Structure 1
Amino acid sequence: MKFGPFNWYQICSSIKKVSETELKMAHMLINHLSKTFDPTMYKDDHREQLASLIQKKIMGEEINVPQIVNKSSVLDLMSALQASLNSYKKIEETKKIKTKRKSSAKQIFTGAEDTA
């Protein structure tokens, strides 16, 4: 099954004015990437697993269903933000300490006093 043919100019011009070259390029790209749908290229894993389970049930085998653990992946945004800010403060403090060390080392070598 292939979708088409569309009046590309009518569709694109109703959305936004496009140049003729842009329209031709879009049309060529869509035609180049379009192909017929082949359902044999796809495999329905869910259907196969379900059929297997049904067959096992018919044969009288016991079916073990794994327990679903309800994990909450919701983050506490306030604590994440606070942790981020704390790490930023630590970086800033480290920069200040390094700057103080550099200025004190400069004073030692040049003999200048820090007026700050």
Structure 2
Amino acid sequence: MREADTAATFAVRLRSAQPLTPWRGDTVTLPGDAAHAMSPGRGEGANATLRDARSLGRVVTGCVRQGTPLAIAKGAYEAETPAYGNEMVERSRRQPLFDRGSR
């Protein structure tokens, strides 16, 4: 604190996404912060993005390997995303900074 550059210090307003409900769209889907933005203090935004990437990759791979229509695969991804995304956003709202003592 003593070494802080107080002249360069400013408040930052943190915002989190509202709870996401399943959505429909033919050509666009939402991964990562586009779907569930949250406080950076917990470090979970990157985790959510990686989980989204894994999930989306899995359903797109299903399109190629099993011939699943893209709309059905995309719908499966969009149905599972709100469940874990909303949970992570809510945790970031309740406790915006990770408590290192709780490990």
Compare CA radii of gyration and give the structure with the larger one.
1
With structure 1 as the length reference, what TM-score do the two structures score? 0.26
With structure 2 as the length reference, what TM-score do the two structures score? 0.28
